[in-house]
């Protein structure tokens, strides 16, 4: 347990950030899951709508440092490719 005031504050700050980061990752996973479910169901319109909701959230996670830049780009790219393939 920290004794210095700044270290105590740091512990509190990290706990708050951990909650925020956890909720952001949960939101990203949920939105990606909705795209996956629409793809499995074969519903192109629902997949497009879910992708439009998921992409900005993934990129927001990248900008906030929750998801690595390449990971976010890879997820968006793969989902976009699968949605486009479903449309054909």
Report d(CA 88, CA 80) in Å as an integer: 13
pLDDT at residue number 12: 96
Where residue 56 sits, what CATH number does that domain have? 1.20.58.110
Over residues 57-86, the pLDDT tens digits come to: 999 999 999 999 999 999 999 999 999 999
The count of structural domains within the chain is 1
Mean pLDDT over each residue of the chain, to the nearest integer: 96
The larger pLDDT score, comparing residue 46 to residue 88, is at 46
Give the pLDDT confidence of 10-45 residue by residue, as tens digits. Answer: 999 999 999 999 999 999 999 999 999 999 999 999
Which residue range is the domain that position 47 belongs to? 5-87
Long-range CB contacts for residues 39-43, cutoff 8 Å, separation at least 24: 39/82, 39/83, 39/86, 42/86
Report pLDDT for 59. Answer: 97
């Amino acid at each position: 347990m920290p004794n210095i005031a700044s270290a105590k504050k740091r512990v509190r700050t990290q706990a708050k950030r951990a909650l925020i980061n956890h909720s952001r990752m949960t939101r990203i996973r949920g939105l990606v899951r909705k795209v996956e479910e629409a793809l499995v169901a074969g519903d192109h319109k629902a997949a497009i709508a879910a992708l439009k909701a998921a992409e900005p959230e993934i990129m927001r996670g990248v900008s906030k440092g929750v998801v690595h830049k390449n990971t976010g780009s890879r997820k968006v790219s793969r989902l976009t490719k699968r949605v486009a393939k479903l449309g054909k």
